[in-house]
Structure 1
Amino acid sequence: MNALGSNVPLKVDREQLQRDFDALAALTEPGRPWTRRSFTPIFLKGRDYLAQRFAEAGLTTHIDAAGNLVGRWAGSNSGAPVLMTGSHSDTVPSGGRFDGIAGILAGLAAIRALRLAGYQPEHSIDLVDFLAEEPSEWGLSCIGSRGMVGALNGEHFAMIGPDGERLDTAIIRMGGVPDGIANSVRSDVGAFVEIHIEQGPVLEAEDIPLGIVSGIAGIARVRLRLEGEAGHAGTVPMAMRADAGMAMARLMLSLRDTARAEANKSRGHFTATIGVVRLEPNGANVVPGAAEAIVDVRAENNAAMDDYLMAIDMLALQAATAEGCRVAAAERLSRTFAVACDIRLQKLIGEAAEVHGLATRPLASGAGHDAAFVARIAPAAMIFVPSKGGISHAPEEWTDTEAIARAADVLALTLSTLDQRPLAPAA
């Protein structure tokens, strides 16, 4: 018996969901599928399409102070906490057919199905397209969700983007009101559930239709600089070199091995990646006199992150010393903390999936999401759907519509259950 009082679990309209995906996929920069960068004209065309579909589904739409597109299905009790779902419609360059948009369209499909079944919620339900979840040309990600929870400040507003435009000015172009953000922080949200593609290979490899996200990893980035002595590649003997390139190679391997060891512990999801390396003077016939790298560290457990960040200094010193070099810098560029998803919401999602006969597994998110910011103001949870080959942020990113529709089925039941059996205040 589901929350709608029917023995048959509610199903969303698969054909309409497919039409929406196809329509948004057609709104892309020419020659760069699937690209709708935030703050651009093509992004606004995508938003116009969504606003029209929101209105057709009976939602009242508006742009909030932070530039988020919000569609509301008004509940019968205007004083009850709001239930919220959604994600983002902006993309990275050449890679956004499903990333983000799956959460918006799945939320829309769930609301359509509930309305078609004659359901009338007590709690209002907000469907949100958060502004600029992906890193923007202003050097900031999750702009809309930051604004919704009061995490945008004057320094952010003063960031400069293309053509010298300030971020606050860009938000105004999107329909937002930066001066009103501080006074419009949401305090009325009772629960938030976001559907998202996994962006990794686990669900597909294990043939599991849904992942229930246990937590969203914290992210740290560290700049490392090792310095030795540049020299002629043909005249400096191997035994007399202070090769910063070799020191960095040692360090990269030791950082990899230490990350593998941490990932094998029982402290949740953990990764470390070096995707940026630069040698100086970077000549084919010159022994490198300096080497720089950026380390990206992601951890579901904050203590695991702390331990690894402390280990970096020791590992850098060991690697540099072994090659006759020195550590010139080990600078922490940024750090965000891990966010645990609400256990009670995870349980409700699992129960809804069971009603639909769908297997699930707990799964951490190594990527950042708007849910991590919304969790500051309300219980939050996420549902992952499989990504073909684990590929994301690339033109080949793909998730079957049926996989997303199944998640939308579960979301519809989760929302109606929350509407009739809301979460008790956390102890």
Structure 2
Amino acid sequence: MTARCTNLPVDGGRLWADLMALGTITEPDKPYTRRSFSPLFLEGRDWLAKRFAAAGLSVRIDTGGNLIGRMEGARADAGTIMIGSHSDTVPSGGRFDGVAGVVVALEIARSLREAGRRLNCAIEVVDFLAEEPSEFGLSCVGSRALTGRLTDDQLAYRDPAGERLDQAIARVGGDPARLAAARRDDIVGFFELHIEQGIVLEQQGIDLGIVTAIAGIARVEIVFDGRADHAGTTPMDLRRDAGLAAAITSAFVASTAREAAAGGNGHFVATTGVFEQFPNAANVVPGKARLVVDIRAEDHAVTERFLAALDARSGEIARECGVERARFALLSDTDPAPCDTALQALLSQSADALGYLSLPMASGAGHDAAFMSHIAPSAMVFVPCRDGRSHAPEEWGEPDAIAAGAAVIHDAVLRLDERHNKTESEGSHAR
């Protein structure tokens, strides 16, 4: 490995200070919690907006509720390079998931301005609205809006208090009546930094992951109807145990997922994340059971085969257990999102130039970059996180690791601007 750069183009100490400061805006008894649309989320956004402005960026909230800071480029027709992530958290989450990507984007823009580097392309720093699953049952609200994938049906979703999603977007500064204005066609490249949320980089001693694709996510709900009976008096051969059917199905999910993961078709995992049985009493044979299975794959064909197998086998299990499979419903199914190969190459070149080891890897978690890939070349950088922990207060990334990721994206932004300007100039001469 070449020697690591000791004179990074970003200020790692300032970046870290911002990251820690934003982490203090949290529910005191549930660190680190800033749920989207909540008063604390708005307080965090206000803090970010002031930091954007202090960095010399023009600040606005688009009609989809995304907070955007912009630095104009030297050429009005050169397009925009966008960098960012999200500042909302899961309940009792961490200080790094999403937030590190926003603060890194801010530091890159700030460092470019302080160095007097005015690029041909405009630079935008974005805090996407509600990337994490919100109280409205929807994730990636802001990136859906920016890419034209937030539907009227979704805008009508309600939270437990009865507020509609479109009302909530308006409440945080968006304008859902003009949602189409949020859609962009000027972005020439999108970069997002994120903690890995896994242990591969840490275990292998690799500095950075360069994401090849973001896994598609499918979720299936399965409901078994049996008969509730006394657990002490009902003979085993006369039971219609819905809980047993659910348990066998859950075991099938795990064993079949292991086989699929070993099949050589990229990243694949499946989890029975919801397992409910009713009436859920120690002395009652379960009369009903409900499962929700989460399936994530780099190759959608593997998901389709898994779903077909799960459909067939869960029906067989119901018959074997003497229960009815009352529901087998595909709740959602998003396609995998490949990251742009040219941007991956730029990131790899930047990592090499700065002396960092990088590893191509797929993301099993969803990100705003998955939606951005529909309208612009998009790429992600992963940095290691301690023990792979995420969505927990113990979530931790080292300051040097985050500064390294920021430096690599900074360098890749310069490379992209130069490449894009050269391509545009050559095209202009050809015309």
TM-score interval, normalised by the smaller of the two chains = over 0.9
Whether the 8 Å contact between 1:216 and 1:340 is mirrored in structure 2 is: yes
TM superposition score normalised by structure 2? 0.93
SS of the residue 1:421 aligns to:
helix
- Structure 1 vs Structure 2: percent identity of aligned residues? 51
1:225 aligns with 2:223: yes
Residue 232 (structure 2) aligns with: 234
Once the two structures are TM-superposed, the CA of residue 8 in structure 1 deviates from its matched residue by: 8.1
CA distance in 2, matches of 1:325, 1:138: 33
Which residue of 305, 315, 321 maps to 1:323? 321
**CA distances 1:140-193 after superposition (whole Å, capped 9, x unpaired):** 111111111111222222222254222222111211111111134100000101
Q: What is the CA–CA distance in structure 2 between the aligned matches of 1:317 and 1:179, rounded to whole Å? A: 45
Describe the SS at the equivalent of 2:212.
strand
> 2: CA distance between counterparts of 1:384 and 1:92?
19
Aligned residue type for 1:105: V
Superposed CA RMSD in Å reads: 1.7
How do 1:22-421 residues align onto structure 2 when only pairs under 5 Å count? 22-161=20-159, 163-421=161-419
- Cα pair 2:63 2:181 within 8 Å, conserved: no
Structure 2 residue runs without a partner (length 5+):
425-431
Q: How many residues align?
A: 419
Q: From the superposition, tell whether residues 290 and 71 of structure 1 become closer, same or farther in structure 2 (CA, over 3 Å).
A: same
Give the CA deviation at 1:279. Answer: 1.6
For the Cα contact (< 8 Å) 2:71–2:122, is it kept in 1? Answer: yes
SS in 1 for 2:190: strand
Alignment partner of 2:181: what SS? coil
Q: Give the counterpart letter for 1:319 in structure 2.
A: I
1:320 Cα deviation from its structure 2 partner: 2.4
State how far apart, in whole Å, the 2-side matches of 1:163 and 1:227 are. Answer: 31
In structure 2, distance between residues paired with 1:174 and 1:325: 48
| Structure 1 unmatched ranges of 5 or more | 1-6
- Please state whether the residue corresponding to 2:303 is helix, strand or coil: helix
Contact 2:94–2:394 (8 Å) recurs in 1: no
Q: Aligned with 2:403: secondary structure?
A: helix
Deviates more, 1:65-74 or 1:177-186: 177-186
Q: Which letter does structure 2 place at the counterpart of 1:53?
A: R
1:3 corresponding residue in structure 2: none
Partners of 1:176 and 1:51 lie apart in 2 by: 15
Per mean C-alpha deviation after superposition, the further-off stretch among 196-205 and 186-195 is: 196-205
For 1:136 and 1:238, how far apart are their aligned partners in 2? Answer: 43
Q: Cα offset for 1:93?
A: 1.0
Residue identity matched to 1:102: A
Q: Is the contact made by 2:16 and 2:399 (CA closer than 8 Å) also made in structure 1?
A: yes
Shift of 1:9: 6.3
Cα deviations by residue, 1:195-248 (Å, 9 ceiling, x for unpaired) = 011111111111111111111111111111223333222222223333222222
Paired residue secondary structure (1:278): strand
